[in-house]
Amino acid sequence: MKMLGIIGGLGPMATAYFLELIVRMTDAAKDQEHLPSVTFNLPDIPDRTAHVLDPSKESPVPRLTSAAKQLENLGCCCIAVPCVTSHCFYEELSASVNIPWLNAVEETAAMLKKLGVKKAGILATSGTIATGLFQNALDRAGIGWAIPEEQDKVMHLIYNNVKAGIAPEMELFYSVSEQLRAEGCEMLILGCTELSLIKRDRPIGPGYLDVLEVLARASVLQCEKPLLPAYELLGQHGTDSREI
């Protein structure tokens, strides 16, 4: 039996949705066929973007590595963190344990390549954008990319809407999306788990690849559970994954 370790709470609702996605993606006929997991819900971990943009602010790395080691000691076979900005510390974090730390950013680039995408738009936190996480992964995959001209709109959606429990201002979401489409982006990456919640709750249309879905898919496969055929390829549906 392979057990998944999850470091959650970054943010809490995204973690709850991640758990739901794992259940929905697994080809299981009864409870006992689903994926065992241990979740640490740690919303008090210091803000990742704040530290990336200002290193004088408290680092989330000590808390993340401590949680990872505990999950390893509990017998987990791999670790997933449903928070994209935490991947800014991937090298340091993955070196802290002897089990795989799933890389949602690399998995996303691989999925885009599988879909035949030539250019992708990146919707993510300013911390993720600043470190070039997606840009570098897409470069390695031979995929072009663009980032929003109005990044402040993306941050407003993430922090002042979704994280604050307020309905997203969809005119901002569509404004940024249209700008990236105008630059030739065939697919837009929902590169922050708060943006995944917008896709969950709003009919945003096709042409978006949800990193939270990518990470859930990778988790099921890494733990050697069967994947429902509808999830072999992602990014091809414009509605909530529950409708696939």
State the catalytic residue, choosing from 78, 88, 185, 192: 192
C-alpha dist (Å) from residue 22 to 25, 74, 160, 195, 236: 5, 20, 27, 18, 18
| 185 in active site | no
| 223 in active site | no
State the catalytic residue, choosing from 76, 78, 83, 88: 83
Tell me which residues are annotated as active site: 83, 192
